[in-house]
Structure 1
Amino acid sequence: MNNSDYLTIQIGNKLKAIRKEIGWKLGELAEKSGMSMAMISKIENGRVIPTLPSLLQLIQTLNLNVSDFFADLKSENDFKGYILRKKSEYTSVNKEEESIGYEYEMILNYPIEKSSMEISLLTLKSHAERARVSTAGFEYIYLVKGTISYELGSETFQLEEGDSLFFDGNIPHVPKNENTEDAVILVVYFITLN
């Protein structure tokens, strides 16, 4: 995913949040804007890059100021080597307007070009030991069970169940479990391809 894809998702999320804030259903926005529900749904969920006229039409229909709409959209070019997400910061996302019982939480969206993905489940035993390591690419960890400290470069993060951390794997890192109970970590590696 490149930076324009990342912005497309931000635009879609913002349009959806504003529509819901106003209290409109997808059908109402479609009717008022003259666009199809299917197209608006695809835009809101970041599946389609809206054309400029379509985007402006939606912004006008929602009675928004164009410059205000774009003011807080940002790229991820200022990446400082890691993104720590506490469970309390996850965003509820309704991907399918009419679905019941499907509760998605957006944990992280970050563009990474030319990479492959590897997913592992790590059980970190009490007082497990390992030296810091570096990996080519990016890593994402989600703490499924337990509490750990995560050493990343000069930082140490205290993670609790449900917290997540995304970082540049080139930064030396190691998880530590100083507790009596095992910790379980979902680890996703994004290995950079040349």
Structure 2
Amino acid sequence: MPNDKAGEIPPHQNTQRICREIKALRKAKRLTLRQLGERCGRTAGYLSQVENGTVVPSIDSISRIAEALGVETNWFFPATTGASDAEAAIVVRNQGRRRISHSYSFDTQELGYQDFLLSADLTLDLIMGMTRLEPGGKSRGVPTKGQGHFCGFVKTGRVNLTVGQEQFVLGEEDSFSFDMTIAHDFANAHDDVTEVVWTVTPAHLDF
């Protein structure tokens, strides 16, 4: 498989997995090859070859692609020390959990929360994640609309949920689901950290 040099991927990394991850993240961000190419300074043809695994991207290209997709370069090199390729494709260990809120179009840390990817990758028709809301943390502060369906389970703490005109306070082990085209909002108006495990379908990260 040709390599574009300029800093090669470490030999222990699964290059085919990296190529699949680039394609999956681009699709989750709902970007075309041309749009991604304009952001990272690479041609759509080159990116297509990368995604199809016919060209192995250099570290420099991966860094440019990562920046264009709003993630850190290590997104494509998750901590799977000792894991087989088969395990890495299915299982996410606690220490290998990746932060996805870096890729959003707004700063979630300023809002008091972070989102983490619990799915092994983004190639399925749904995404599973976890939100960690600090006391006073909120999703946007005002209800917003999206696309798809959202389901969640309160793992720890309490969360204030607004869906349309309805408002709810959910405690530990409560769950919920709603159509994301309805304006919605989350907030932690309580004294403890709240963790919510959730899924969104179809898979997308264009927040």
Band of TM-score, shorter chain: 0.3 to 0.5
TM superposition score normalised by structure 1: 0.38
TM superposition score normalised by structure 2: 0.36
RCO higher in structure (CA 8 A, sep ≥6): 1
Larger Rg: 1
Structure number with the higher strand fraction is: 1
